[in-house]
Amino acid sequence: MKVIICGAGQVGWQIARQLSGERNDVTVVDYNPDLVRRATDTLDVQGIVGFASYPDVLDRAGARDADLLIAATHSDEVNMVTCQVAHSVFSVPRKIARLRAQNYLDAIYSDLYRRDHLPIDVVISPEKEVAEAALQRLAAPATFDTESFMLGRAQLLGMALDEDCPVLNTPLRQLNDLFPSLRAIVVGVRREGRLFAPDPGDQLFAGDQIYVFSHSEDMNRALEIFGKKSKKQERIVIVGGGNVGLGVARALEARTDRVRAKVIEKNRSVAERAADSLERTIVLNGDGMDMDMLLEAAVDRADAVLAVTDDDKTNLLVAVRAKQAGATMSIALVNDPTLAPLMAPLDIDAYINPRATTVSSILRHIRHGRVRRIYSIGDAEAEVIEAQILSTSPMTGRQIREIEFPEGVLVGAVMKGDKVLKPTGELRLEAGDFVAMFAMSLDVREVERLLQVSIDFF
Amino acid sequence: MLRALLLRTPLLVVLCGAAGLSMWLPAAHASLTGDHDVAQAFFYSGIIVVIVTGMVMLAMANRRPRGTARSQLSALVGAYLILPLVFALPVTQALPDTTLANAWFEMVSSFTTTGATVYDDAARLAPSIHLWRGLVGWLGGLFVLVAATAILAPLNLGGSEVLAGRTGGQAAGGMTQIARIADPAERLLRYTAVITPLYAGLTLALWLLLMIAGEVNLVALVHAMSTLSTSGIGMGGDLTVMETGIAGEALIFLFLLLALTRRSLAERVQVMGSTGPLHQDAELRLALALIGGATLVLFLRHWIGAIEAEDAQDLNRAFRALWGTLFTVLSFLTTTGFESAEWQAARDWSGLSNPGLILAGLAMFGGGVATTAGGVKLLRVHVLALHGQRELERLLHPSSVGGGGEAARRLRRQGAYFAWLFFMLFALTVAVTTAGLALLGLEFEPALVLTLAALTTTGQLADLAATSPIRYADLGAAAKLVLGAVMVLGRVEILAVLALLAPSSWRR
């Protein structure tokens, strides 16, 4: 597939990395030669220096035979115009644009993005999705990673097991017998830095990080079984008042339970903007690394500290500092996935990887078949794919035990109608069902083949 | 032709001409009612003023107007110094036994919409002279409305310095792209043309409504005029002269509400930013809270008094006491100064006297900016309250950032600064004037009450705020002069006078 990515910033680069890794023909366009060089030096992509919305630049980037255009520059308006040009001049079949401004995203104006108006097939807004990811982390404080699937009826929970976990050294097969009514299944285990899909005979050990796919109603019970307690959070400190921090604070204000949030932002004008759009939340202007500032935000009594500035190191240090000052829990936003192993030694409870959320939302639209949701795990080591089974799929009408899944693939949940079921060997998959699968990166192509429609579908 | 003439002639001369023309209304009224002496006094005074003005106009016909905004400001202040003398001319003629000082005081008080009167015996004045007082008050209200939008607002005075957050007395910095700035005279003419029909129409409406309610013709007109101009000039001391009772008062109440916010006039005269729905208007909300709070406190006090007097069951009297309190509270908040006929009912009901000082406090709050009301103005009070609230927040979180948008932040910073500045000037003026009046031999309490009455342009405070009513007629000429000057200060706002006196305006 030929893909043009406009904007080689953080988001553009991450998308390029993911797509080029899947052997797509990727071209990156940016007006900053340094960013283009960074992309071409580190990835297997072509680079074009130029203004993304100019037709001649798009022409040079090969827009005439491109299958997909992703407009991810920092300007909403440039992204819109780029999509319009790609549509009107080059007839690019699929166009994805990143729009950050909430005003463009309001549901009442969604009519705007129709084919005959502003031809954008998919609108993505990374900040919004990162904010959602942060809220999910807050909702499940004992986990280091969460993502919701099946329209919110199922959750993927990432947990680090410690000595207190009551089900250590038990084969996973026995867990089913011990808790027959629990609708949860272990889909992935990371042991000594290596992620794998467990066999029924595998046991869990202290120090393992596991990914559990659970029905939303059984989430708290699942956490309990693996030795985690969930606690309600009332005082939350957010460091960083940019789009992410503001999005989280807004969502917290919209919640009905009384959450007292405070936002610390270094840049005066950004802080003012945040204060303007928030009502109850207190916005503080100052350096989040400053201990006085953290204490002014009462970080020592906070139930959770969320470090979501645009700088990874600041986030890590703020999270450590807050934890040291007495915060119950700290969450850091980390762009660089190679920093992830630092979390445990630094005593940071959870991290948010914007790449994972953004790339997930874009991948969803690139995958074949009816993929509804994709979540990328770890450093692109595995994916959880939620997709609809089409009548032409090789899985249709067969029991799960009969399907030849590759070694690194596990079914996490099946949704029939609006009921989410725990997958058992006897469960028969029908056309129209949704299935959520954990797949190691190497096996993603095989999963795609399983989901793919044959040519007679069209 | 007329427009060109008006644009070329200095504002003060035009105003004098208008004053002369307006004298023929009471003249006509007097001749119709058969009071020929009074009619002659007004008619000939009018002729004299018009002729003199016409000659001045001719003499200045070739003058090229400099037309700076500041010259309009000096004309505004000058109008308050000179016009009362012109207005007093027919009064001295029609009332041979009065002194010029008394006539001047009466007219200053009317023109500044204060409504303090030296003639407390209403019967001493002919009905036409009452009409004249009401008319001068009405013209004063119109003048203030026009001046606030056309003269003070462009100079960042009269409340707009709070909204704009820029130093008063200075027009906005010019931009090189703007080749021609509208002449202040043009602006004045345009706003006069917009505001006059609205103002006159509302007055006419109230007049008609009062007459429909069954009020005597002249009484209805005078009260309608003094309601719209918030001068509170009546045919007698309070509203007991009205025959319609509570119905008439209710109509007046309705029109008094207009003085609470500058937005009661049409949107297109709003040069000061006013956005958002009316129910979110800061001034209106503050005013309603004040009215509600003050009425409740006063009423509960009487109610408890009535319980002690074992008269709490009398619903009729309770309602009348409540109405009297509500009406008087609004009337003093808008610095009108009408006293409801039922205000005394409360006293009769509970046996407690009415605390007049609370009315002085309300008058100090004043109505909305760029309305006919005087006082500190609700907007400034609101901004000071906002600032105070924000400072309290900062005690808890010293580095917190206030929300509400760019405009709200400017209000809380520069806006609050200018509001505070004004408030301090106001307080200083009160102190200095009280001291001055005390020097002239007044007791402390009368001196304070009279100062507040003059400065907030609520002359009727003298009747109600002190323990015993103070009579303006008993004051010496010097005290009257001081009070008259303070009325002008209170009307044009001290900042405007200071801006005029600032050294930068001496340069040519």
Tell me what the mean pLDDT of segment B289-305 comes to: 89
Nearest CA in chain B to A286: B399
Where do we find the tokens 């954990």?
A438
Nearest CA in chain A to B407: A276
Contacts of residue B399 in chain A, CB cutoff 8 Å?
284-286, 293, 296
State yes or no: pLDDT of B68 exceeds 70. no
Nearest to B397 among A271, A274, A296 (CB): A296
Across the interface, whether the CB atoms of B401 and A265 are under 8 A apart is answered yes
Element (H or E) spanning A149, and its range?
strand A145-149
Is B464 exposed, middle or buried (CB count within 10 Å of its CB: 0-12, 13-18, 19+)?
buried
Tell me what the mean pLDDT of segment B178-201 comes to: 80
What three-state secondary structure class fits A30?
A: strand
Cα dihedral across residues B489, B494, B500, B503: positive or negative: positive
What gap in Å lies between CA A143 and CA A133, rounded to an integer? 12
Contacts of residue B401 in chain A, CB cutoff 8 Å?
265, 268, 271-272, 274-275, 283-285
Across the interface, whether the CB atoms of A282 and B400 are under 8 A apart is answered yes
State yes or no: pLDDT of B116 exceeds 70. yes
Task: Say if A277 is an interface residue toward chain B (CB within 8 Å).
Answer: yes
How high is the pLDDT of residue B54? 92
Contacts of residue A284 in chain B, CB cutoff 8 Å?
397, 399-401
Across the interface, whether the CB atoms of B406 and A276 are under 8 A apart is answered yes
Residue B280 CB partners (closer than 8 Å, separation 6+): none
Residues A442 and A408 sit within 8 Å (Cβ to Cβ)? yes
Task: Say if A418 is an interface residue toward chain B (CB within 8 Å).
Answer: no
State yes or no: pLDDT of B268 exceeds 60. no
What gap in Å lies between CA B43 and CA B94, rounded to an integer? 11
Q: Which residue has the higher pLDDT, B433 or B189?
A: B433
Mutate to test the interface with A, among B400, B409, B412 (most CBs of A within 10 A): B400
* Least trusted range by pLDDT, from B178-187, B215-224, B432-441: B178-187
SS (H, E, C) B294-321: HHHHHHHHHHHHHHHCCCCCCHHHHHHH
What gap in Å lies between CA B409 and CA A23, rounded to an integer? 53
How high is the pLDDT of residue A456? 42
Q: DSSP code of A177?
A: H
Contacts of residue A293 in chain B, CB cutoff 8 Å?
399
Nearest CA in chain A to B402: A275
* DSSP per-residue codes, A104-138: HH-GGGGGGGSTTSS--SEEE-HHHHHHHHHHHHH
User: Comparing C-alpha atoms, which of A399, A407, A440, A441 is closest to residue A423?
Assistant: A399
State yes or no: pLDDT of B269 exceeds 60. no
Residues A154 and A214 sit within 8 Å (Cβ to Cβ)? yes
Contacts of residue A289 in chain B, CB cutoff 8 Å?
none
Across the interface, whether the CB atoms of B397 and A271 are under 8 A apart is answered no
Nearest to B397 among A268, A278, A284 (CB): A284
- Which of A150-154, A425-429, B295-299, B435-439 is most confident? B435-439
Which residues of chain A are modeled with pLDDT < 70? 107-108, 230-231, 355, 367-370, 453-458
User: Comparing C-alpha atoms, which of A456, A442, A411 is closest to residue A429?
Assistant: A411
pLDDT class for B299, splitting at 50, 70, 90?
Answer: confident
User: Comparing C-alpha atoms, which of A77, A23, A16 is closest to residue A47?
Assistant: A16
* pTM of the entire predicted model: 0.77
Task: Say if B394 is an interface residue toward chain A (CB within 8 Å).
Answer: no
Mean pLDDT, chain B, whole residue set: 85
Residue A129 CB partners (closer than 8 Å, separation 6+): A354, A357, A358, A361
Task: Say if B406 is an interface residue toward chain A (CB within 8 Å).
Answer: yes
User: Do the strands A145-149 and A154-160 form a parallel or antiparallel pair, or are they unpaired?
Assistant: antiparallel
Contacts of residue B398 in chain A, CB cutoff 8 Å?
296
What gap in Å lies between CA B334 and CA B261, rounded to an integer? 10
How high is the pLDDT of residue B51? 94
Residues A237 and A302 sit within 8 Å (Cβ to Cβ)? yes
